[in-house]
Amino acid sequence: MLFSGAQPALLVLADGTTYRGWSFGASATAIGEVVFNTGMTGYQEVLTDPSYRGQIVTFTYPELGNTGVNPEDEESGRPQVKGAIARNICSRPSNWRSTQSLQDYLKKYGIPGIYGIDTRALTRKLRSVGAMNGGISTEILDPADLLMKIREAPSMAGLNLVREVTTSTTYEWSETTDAAWDYTTLTAKPTDSGAIEPTLTVVAIDFGIKKNILRRLASYGCRVIVVPADTSPEEILKHNPDGIFLSNGPGDPATVAEGIATAKALLTSEKPMFGICMGHQILGLSLGAETFKLKFGHRGLNQPCGMSQQPVEITSQNHGFAISAESLPDAEVEITHLNLNDRTVAGLRHKTLPLFSVQYHPEASPGPHDADYLFQQFVQSMRQHKQQGVPTV
């Protein structure tokens, strides 16, 4: 559907490939890494996920905007993407929770989008050639002029974006998953007042944390203290945490030197540690492993993960880097999960210390809930360590 008075828009990739379409969202120019997400739902969660910082997201689902947007589904305080690419846009959202249309939401934050292009062809291009920089513009409609600006932009490899999304101050989080939306009997039970009484203290290092991760930790009975990514190990340990959480985040994990150094220093504390996505990569790097950039990444809601002789988990994923399996120290670390599409490392565990991590998102906002048990596993590890002083995962 073409909006009345629709404005022309241009999409150009770094190799010169050009797509012409129509604008939704802000009238602007945005340059970033062009990637694709195969999820069939959750476009607002994707747009507001800090792990997408610096990226222009292509949605393979054919129409966006049907359910509008609402404050409850934001994974951070604002959209984090540089731009959005869609086949079709719904101009009149219909959902009882909607408070705003998608295009008005993006316009409010100055985020441009382009629709009316062949997103299937674009996705095939990115799969065959690989994710690359690109640009969306309603202001520059000459492909050669836009291409010049795109080629001046830095590559995602070697880019530290954590400093753009981490919290500037330490704060506590207590909001749990809404009871109407909770999906397990393993979470902590509310008191007579309706609140969940925290029994464990978790320090969450914020590399670009999603709100639903914080909700799941709180739902499992954790008092969550969120600290900036550059917080020193000494400051973290002053909170006397029962466990330490390493969050998701954007950019190249190998560039987050302070986070890697902090995680490495915290290994000697023998506190239980749990990492998700970038937190998984940073934990791996702190243990001596290496990371590499994937050709086009894993971004979607149906990524199968597991190992032989264990159930397959269907998982939500969003990352463009992975841990090199060959670089892991075999004497200390074991691989617990593989991505069953390409056999990349999707989970690891230390053999003697209470440390584990996964490349995917067990909080799954959006996505399946197969892996939510990992929060319970983290809680059990903290309880064992607290009661027995024995570092056991």
**162-388: which CATH topology?**
Rossmann fold (3.40.50)
Q: What span, in angstroms and rounded, lies between the C-alpha atoms of 196 and 67?
A: 31
DSSP sequence for 263-295: HHHHGGGT--EEEETHHHHHHHHHTT--EEEEE
Contact between 308 and 364 (Cβ < 8 Å): no
Spot the catalytic one: 277, 298, 337, 385: 277
List the chain domain ranges: 8-152, 162-388
In CATH, what is the architecture of 8-152?
Answer: 3-Layer(bba) Sandwich (3.50)
Which of 45, 75, 313, 363 is labelled catalytic? 363
Instruction: Give the torsion through C-alpha atoms of 278, 107, 123, 1, to 10 deg.
Output: 150
pLDDT tens by residue, the chain, 393 residues: 566 668 999 999 999 999 999 999 999 999 999 999 999 999 999 999 999 999 999 999 999 999 999 999 999 999 999 999 999 999 899 999 999 999 999 999 999 999 999 999 999 999 999 999 999 999 999 999 999 999 999 999 999 999 999 999 999 999 999 887 787 777 876 765 667 778 899 999 999 999 999 999 999 999 999 999 999 999 999 999 999 999 999 999 999 999 999 999 999 999 999 999 999 999 999 999 999 999 999 999 999 999 988 899 999 999 999 999 999 999 999 999 999 999 999 999 999 999 999 999 999 999 999 999 999 999 999 999 988 765 444
For residues 267 and 270, what is the distance between their CA atoms, to the nearest angstrom?
6
Q: How many CB atoms lie within 10 A of CB 326?
A: 9
277 included as an active-site residue:
yes
Q: Are 236 and 203 in contact (CB under 8 A)?
A: yes
pLDDT for position 392: 44
Side by side, which strands form the sheet with 291-306?
Answer: 171-173, 222-228, 200-206, 243-246, 273-276, 355-358, 345-350, 333-339, 291-306, 313-323
Give yes or no: 222 in active site: no
Kindly give, in sequence order, each residue whose CB lies less than 8 Å from that of residue 104, ignoring residues fewer than 6 positions away. none
Q: What is the pLDDT of residue 181?
A: 76
363 is catalytic: yes
The answer to whether residues 218 and 195 touch, using CB atoms and an 8 Å cutoff, is no
Type and span of the H or E element at 87: none
Place of tokens 């309880």: 383
The pLDDT value recorded for residue 267 is 96
What does pTM read for this prediction?
0.95
Do residues 59 and 366 make contact, with C-beta atoms less than 8 angstroms apart?
no
380, with CB counted inside 10 A (0-12, 13-18, 19+), is middle
